[in-house]
Amino acid sequence: MNSQTNLPIEDMVKWRRHLHENPELSFHEVETAKYIYQLLKTFPNLELTTPTENSVVAILKGAKPGKTIALRADIDALPIVEEADVAFPSQNEGVMHACGHDTHTAMLLGACKVLTSMQEKIAGTVKFIFQPAEEVPPGGAKFLVEAGVMKDVDLVFGIHIFPKIPVGVVAIRTGALTAAADIFELKIQGVGSHGSTPELAIDPILVGVEIITNLNNIISRNIAAFDNAVLSIGEFTSGNSANVIPDTAKIQGTVRTNDPAVRTLVRKRIEEIIEHVTKMYGASYELNYIMGYSPVVNDSEATELVRKAALKVVGEKGLITAPQMMGGEDFSAYTDVVPGSFFVVGGGTAEEGCGYMNHHPKFKINEGALAVGAEMEIQLITDLLINDEE
């Protein structure tokens, strides 16, 4: 099958640009969800549901019974001021589709439009999931799973676009693709004093420096060299005057791991270090450790299906192995309960102006990638639910 000529390319570009101009933050995608819902209402043969706030799930039931396959796109944007050189910049100041979720949504809308016209050939059911709040834990996927969206699903597939990879390239990986993404928030309570009398203080800045120094030794001294783990401090704030020792300090950080045992060990060591260092200096603390997304683990059989689809869509030259990533993705909420595969499509090269990675204010993609993503989704459904021999 070659659905390329049937793809609504101009519509996909228009949809993507509308979404790009009107980004909304996680858990606030009200107008985005309305826009998607109204578009889907114009497609034939769909049942539309809104199982959670700001989500849209479109169900396409084939003419014959069969498996249920879910395809997912995320719809939220990021709190970033756009600096990308595009003719359709964000009109929502301080909010930007800097991760490509606008492209994921346009891809899935395009695939949906094509597949709805093939309803008579489909033996099974397709669920098109337009999911809010991928960027902010606990994430929107968790609530969709709790709402029962995956109960009858046999396989689930998702796409992520990345720049610095040519359009026409699909990257796949079996096993762990992303990392568990945990966050810790620490408040250190000391005793303030005048800068001239440090002996009367319990300096939370000094305590914080000691804690951070020791936290940064966890990866090099407690984790085996062949195990993946990252610990990064993103915030250390305290005080507002040159001659005042403050009484509190705040530290925030993130932990990324691929293995559950390593994840548990890192958390244990963080808690131990904070407890002992604060006790040593006579300070107290409040620690909020947030267990974020689990790793996306791609099922081997599902990934083989993606590989076969990619060979048909982009050919052997366009198929590569995706590296293991330390970023987090709440697609893991789906793969924790249903076999599936999450794969990458190339979004363009640096020479094309697509040289800034996701979450950068100059993030930009080549819109030619929209067709590749939609083609992959259509091909997966064709391979799984359509028998052209009949």
Q: Is 134 a residue of the active site?
A: yes
Q: Is 299 a residue of the active site?
A: no
Q: Do the Cβ atoms of 203 and 194 come closer than 8 Å?
A: no
Given the residues 24, 29, 76, 299, the one annotated as active site: 76
Q: Is 99 marked within a binding site?
A: yes
- Please give, one letter per residue, the 3-state secondary structure of 85-139: CCCCCCCCCCCECCCCHHHHHHHHHHHHHHHHCCHHHEEEEEEEEEECCCCCCCC
DSSP 8-state symbol, 317: G
DSSP 8-state symbol, 25: B
Question: CA of 254: how far to CAs of 141, 212, 248, 336, in Å?
Answer: 20, 12, 21, 22
Which candidate, 168, 167, 257, 173, places its Cα nearest to that of 218?
257
Given the residues 24, 29, 82, 134, the one annotated as active site: 134
Q: Do the Cβ atoms of 202 and 191 come closer than 8 Å?
A: yes
Q: Is 104 marked within a binding site?
A: no
**Residue-level length of the chain:** 390
Task: For the sheet with 170-172, list strands across it.
Answer: 46-49, 56-61, 123-131, 64-74, 155-162, 340-346, 170-172, 319-321
> How many Å apart are CA 381 and CA 94, to the nearest integer?
38
Residue with tokens 């993503």: 373
Q: Is the peptide bond prior to 79 cis by the omega test (within 30 degrees of 0)?
A: no
Q: Is 101 marked within a binding site?
A: yes
Taking every pair of C-alpha atoms in the chain, what is the biggest distance, in angstroms?
87
Q: Do the Cβ atoms of 319 and 303 come closer than 8 Å?
A: no
- Residue numbers annotated as active site: 76, 134
- Binding-site sequence positions: 99, 101, 135, 160, 359
- Binding-site sequence positions for Mn(2+): 99, 101, 135, 160, 359
